[in-house]
Amino acid sequence: MFMLQEQLYDAAELVQHARHIVALTGAGISTESGIPDFRSPGSIWQQHPPVNYRDFLHKPEARQSYWAIRHSLTKRVMEARPNAAHQALVELEHRQRLLGVITQNFDGLHQDAGHAPERVIELHGTSRFAACTLCGAHSSMSDLQQRIDAGEVDPRCSLCEGFLKAATILFGQRVPETELARAKEISEACDLFLVIGSSLKVTPASTLPRLALKRNVPLIIVNLQPTTLDTYADVAIHEKAGVILPRLVNGQ
Ligand SMILES: [Zn+2]
């Protein structure tokens, strides 16, 4: 317990002195809002392995499996609300200390918490919209889900006939270049880098804290499990983000 106090003290000091903070968030920040971490044991991806992008495009059965998984997810994402960790990041923005939030999540909870939309960079897209896999046009996700629920198989884009899916990134699909460029840009400009609820196992997100480390910018990691960069972090805390973040932002 004493060690945690000391870590909190050190981390809160770093937060207090920083002026241009970047936060990278992963599934761990949203589990406290009731959204399961797909990679964790017993999760939905262990029961139904995630569909990869190539299969989605080429195999009707992969698209059907995609929609079967989405059905159970959509409701949970719709019902989820931001938690204390999301709110703490908004507080940093209000104090004009936040360059931006880079997120691996597609649940839209950072936006719901109240960030200015341009402060949030969604590396893995968003499940709030549907997107055409061919022309990229966005459309309403709830309309698309209704079509699926009503029994439509393989819904197509009304503009170009491409396959429709949520505007999230599947395995084997590239992270959008604009988002990645913006994420790199702020990672190279920050004076404190926070990793929250990410085990740093997925590239390119996992490479971003290294851009800060290269410039000797302090790194704080708050994640339930150890990460590959814990040894390089100034402070690595293995506790819940919703408990720790407010304490870091409000001076423990
Ligand atoms: Zn299209």
* Residues noted as catalytic: 124
Q: What does the alpha-carbon distance between residue 42 and residue 35 come to, in Å, rounded to a whole number?
A: 14
**Prediction pTM value:** 0.92
Q: What does the alpha-carbon distance between residue 2 and residue 20 come to, in Å, rounded to a whole number?
A: 29
Q: What is the mean pLDDT of residues 225-251?
A: 96
Residue-level pLDDT at 45: 61
In the Cβ-directed half-sphere of 67, how many Cα atoms lie within 13 Å?
A: 22
CA of 120 to the centre of ligand 1 (A): 25
Phi, psi angle pair for 168, to nearest 5°: -105, 165
CB-CB contact of 212 with 22 (8 Å): yes
Which residues have C-beta under 5 Å from ligand 1, the single-atom ion? 132, 134-135, 137, 157, 159-160, 162
Q: What does the alpha-carbon distance between residue 39 and residue 121 come to, in Å, rounded to a whole number?
A: 22
CA of 107 to the centre of ligand 1 (A): 23
| pLDDT tens per residue across span 163-175 | 999 999 998 998 9
Q: How confident is the model at residue 72 (pLDDT cuts 50, 70, 90)?
A: confident
CA of 247 to the centre of ligand 1 (A): 46
| pLDDT tens per residue across span 100-148 | 999 999 999 999 999 999 999 999 999 989 999 999 999 999 899 889 9
- Which strands sit side by side in the sheet containing 125-132, from one edge to the other? 138-140, 125-132, 164-168
DSSP bridge pairs for 156: 163
Q: What is the dihedral of CA 170, 138, 28, 82, to 10 degrees?
A: -170
Q: What does the alpha-carbon distance between residue 203 and residue 192 come to, in Å, rounded to a whole number?
A: 20
Contacts of the segment 53-57: beta carbons below 8 A, 24+ positions apart? 53/170, 53/171, 53/172, 53/173, 54/172, 56/133, 56/163, 56/165, 56/170, 57/133, 57/163
CA of 141 to the centre of ligand 1 (A): 14
Q: What does the alpha-carbon distance between residue 112 and residue 81 come to, in Å, rounded to a whole number?
A: 8
